[in-house]
C-alpha cells in the first residue's frame, strides 16, 4: 500500500451551487421571482408574510414552506388563499436545519409555477446554515426582531452580509426593551455596508406598506428585464 496525494482545489459547496443555478434557470423560464426568506426561529417570518402575500398589487405569490416538522405555518398561509407547498426536512438525519438547493429541486414539480409571479421560500428558522446554501433565489430577505438583541449582525455576519433586505420586526416592543436600535443599525452597516433595511411590526402593521412596496418592486424589476 502506498499513499498518493491528489490535488483537488474545489469549493465543497459547488454541488449545491450548481443545483441552485439549475433551479434559478427553471424559475427564470417560468418568469417567477424567488425570494429566500430567512430568520431565527420566532422572529416573525410567517406573520410578516401573512400581512402581504395575499395583497401584492399585480403580483401572484406562492409560498414554499420549509419546516423541520409539521405544517402549522403552511396552514396559516393557506387560509389567505395563496398556493402553499410544504417541504419538511425531517426524513434526513434528525431533520435538516436549512433548505438546500436539492430539497427545493425535489419540490419543483409540486409548485404551481405557471400560476404565480413570485415564490417566497420560507426557510427553516436558523441564522447560520441557511446562509451557506443558495437554493436558486433572486433575492435574500432576512428578519431580525428587536427581542433578539443588537449584536446579532456581529454574531451572524454571513447571514447579514448575504441578504439584500433586513426587516427589523417587533418595533412596537421598543418602548419595553433596552434594545439600542441605532446600535443595531450601525452593526448592520458594519457587516453589510449599504444594506437596505425596513422597520416593521407585523402586529401593529407599522412599516408593512414599505415591505409590500419592496416586494412589488422586486417583482417589477423582473418585468423590466428583456425576456
Partner 1 sequence: MHELSLSGAVLNTVVKHAGERRVSLVSLRVGRLRQVVPDTLEFYFEFVARGTVCEGARLELQIVEASLRCNPCEREWAIEIPAFRCPTCGGADVEVASGNEFEVESIEIEEAACIAPR
- Verify binding: residue 2, partner 1, rule CB under 8 A: yes
- Verify binding: residue 90, partner 1, rule CB under 8 A: no
- Verify binding: residue 185, partner 1, rule CB under 8 A: no
Q: Which of 27, 37, 133, 211 binds partner 1 (CB under 8 A)?
A: 133
Piece of 41-49, 51-59, 92-100, 218-226 that binds partner 1 (CB under 8 A):
92-100
Integer Cα distance of 195 and 185 in angstroms: 10
Distance of CA 163 to the CA centre of its chain: 8
Shortest Å distance, C-beta 77 to partner 1? 26
Piece of 138-146, 173-181, 183-191, 203-211 that binds partner 1 (CB under 8 A):
183-191
Integer Cα distance of 227 and 92 in angstroms: 39
Please say which residue, 53 or 87, places its beta carbon nearer to partner 1: 87
Cβ neighbours of residue 90 under 8 Å, at least 6 residues apart?
68, 69
149: left (phi over 0), alpha (psi -120 to 50) or beta: left
Please say which residue, 102 or 216, places its beta carbon nearer to partner 1: 102
Strand order in the sheet with 118-122: 84-88, 61-67, 118-122, 33-39, 139-145, 165-169, 196-199
- Verify binding: residue 1, partner 1, rule CB under 8 A: yes
118 pairs with which residues across the strands? 33, 61
Shortest Å distance, C-beta 139 to partner 1? 19
- Verify binding: residue 5, partner 1, rule CB under 8 A: yes
Please say which residue, 6 or 227, places its beta carbon nearer to partner 1: 6
Shortest Å distance, C-beta 118 to partner 1? 27
Q: Which of 115, 190, 204, 223 binds partner 1 (CB under 8 A)?
A: 190
- The number of C-alpha atoms within 13 Å of 89 and in the hemisphere containing its C-beta is 22
Integer Cα distance of 16 and 161 in angstroms: 19
Residue closest to 167 by CA, chosen among 206, 135, 129: 206
Q: Which grid cell sits at 25? A: 434557470
Binding site for partner 1 (CB under 8 A): 1-16, 93, 96-98, 100, 126, 128-129, 132-133, 153-154, 156-158, 161, 189-194
Amino acid at each position: 500500500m502506498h499513499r498518493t496525494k491528489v490535488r483537488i482545489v474545489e469549493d465543497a459547496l459547488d454541488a449545491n451551487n450548481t443545483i441552485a443555478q439549475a433551479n434559478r434557470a427553471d424559475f427564470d423560464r417560468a418568469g417567477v421571482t424567488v425570494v429566500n426568506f430567512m430568520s431565527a426561529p420566532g422572529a416573525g417570518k410567517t406573520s410578516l408574510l401573512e400581512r402581504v402575500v395575499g395583497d401584492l398589487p399585480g403580483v401572484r405569490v406562492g409560498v414554499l414552506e420549509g419546516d423541520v416538522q409539521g405544517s402549522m405555518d403552511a396552514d396559516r398561509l393557506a387560509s389567505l388563499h395563496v398556493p402553499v407547498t410544504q417541504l419538511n426536512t425531517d426524513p434526513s438525519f434528525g431533520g435538516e436545519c436549512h433548505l438546500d438547493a436539492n430539497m427545493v429541486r425535489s419540490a419543483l414539480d409540486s409548485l404551481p409555477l405557471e400560476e404565480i409571479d413570485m415564490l417566497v421560500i420560507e426557510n427553516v428558522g436558523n441564522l447560520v446554515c441557511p446562509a451557506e446554501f443558495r437554493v436558486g433565489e433572486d433575492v435574500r430577505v432576512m428578519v431580525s426582531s428587536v427581542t433578539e438583541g443588537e449584536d446579532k449582525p456581529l454574531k451572524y455576519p454571513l447571514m447579514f452580509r448575504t441578504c439584500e433586505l433586513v426587516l427589523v420586526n417587533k418595533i412596537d416592543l421598543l418602548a419595553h426593551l433596552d434594545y439600542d436600535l441605532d446600535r443595531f443599525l450601525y452593526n448592520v452597516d458594519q457587516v453589510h455596508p449599504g444594506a437596505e433595511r425596513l422597520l416593521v411590526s407585523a402586529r401593529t402593521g407599522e412599516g408593512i406598506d414599505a415591505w409590500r412596496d419592496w416586494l412589488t418592486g422586486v417583482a417589477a424589476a423582473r418585468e423590466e428585464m428583456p425576456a
